[in-house]
Amino acid sequence: MKTVGELAKELRTLTGEARSRAVSELASDPRKSVQDLLRRIQREDEKLSGEQARVEGLRAYELSLAHGQIFCGIDEAGRGPLAGPVVAAAVIMPLDGPLILRVNDSKKVPETVREQLYDKILEHALSVGVGIVSAERIDEINILQATYEAMRQAVARLNPVPELLINDAVTIPGLAMRQLAVIKGDAKCYSIAAASIIAKVTRDRIMRDYEELYPGYDFARNKGYGSAEHIQAIREKGLSPIHRKSFTGHFT
């Protein structure tokens, strides 16, 4: 007789009808541990089904906006920090093929999962463009204009060129394509959510690298945001070359 561990491993390798038959056969197993396993498997299946439905809903919503046009989702990361660049991403996902589960607003996804999704998005996307605008440039033109600049850079790096831009809550000046601004788009549209993850992971990696160049500000952990420890470090050490002077004048 197979142990519960062996049964659990076997069930997770099965799919479709084979999995259903195995579960049905185990339903008559009198062992409490087996019944506990079946309940756990059922909860996992229900969670997986719910996640599949959520992602399919994100995709269906953006397809209803696109009306058959080639489109990308656009989002940014890093508008609010005291240091570091603002990063934008534009992503064109394929219309066919499997959807990537757990793609969501990057703020709702744990960091380790974001890293995994980043790789999957790059693997499956038709095209990904990333734009990065420095803290120095942010100080020159302000954060809103710098965000638009990063988004224009991201769109310019796409191939094919999209006919429609589906953006998270903004309309980008200086672009000829049709645009749709979707409020909370990173939680509503599959491609915007994918762009949100690409932008966030890209920026987080940049900030971890800056921790090596400018130690003492804890950039690897705070990513440039204004934590109490970060603000205290500014007061003690002054500004680093990647701090936004327009954001930090009242701390120095």
Overall average pLDDT of the 52-56 stretch: 97
Overall average pLDDT of the 41-48 stretch: 83
169-182 confidence digits (pLDDT tens): 999 999 999 999 99
Q: What is the pLDDT of residue 45?
A: 80
Q: What is the pLDDT of residue 84?
A: 98
The fold of the 69-199 domain, in CATH, is Nucleotidyltransferase; domain 5 (3.30.420)
Give 37's pLDDT tier (boundaries 50, 70, 90): confident
Q: What is the pLDDT of residue 20?
A: 78
Overall average pLDDT of the 54-67 stretch: 97
Provide the residue ranges of all domains of the chain, joining segments of one domain with +: 4-65, 69-199
Q: How many Cα atoms occupy the beta-carbon half-sphere of 139 within 13 Å?
A: 15
Overall average pLDDT of the 138-154 stretch: 98
Give 186's pLDDT tier (boundaries 50, 70, 90): very high
Closest listed residue to residue 114, CA positions, set 209, 203, 230: 203
Check whether 14 has a pLDDT greater than 80: no
81-139 confidence digits (pLDDT tens): 999 999 999 999 999 878 999 999 999 999 999 999 999 999 999 999 999 999 999 99
Check whether 71 has a pLDDT greater than 90: yes
Starting at the edge strand found earlier in the chain, the sheet holding 71-77 runs: 127-133, 86-92, 71-77, 164-168, 178-182
C-alpha distance from residue 46 to each of 40, 51, 94 (Å): 10, 9, 26
Closest listed residue to residue 137, CA positions, set 205, 98, 174, 85: 85
Residues in Cβ contact with 245 at an 8 Å cutoff, skipping those fewer than 6 apart: 139, 239
| pTM of the predicted structure, to 2 decimals | 0.89
Give 59's pLDDT tier (boundaries 50, 70, 90): very high
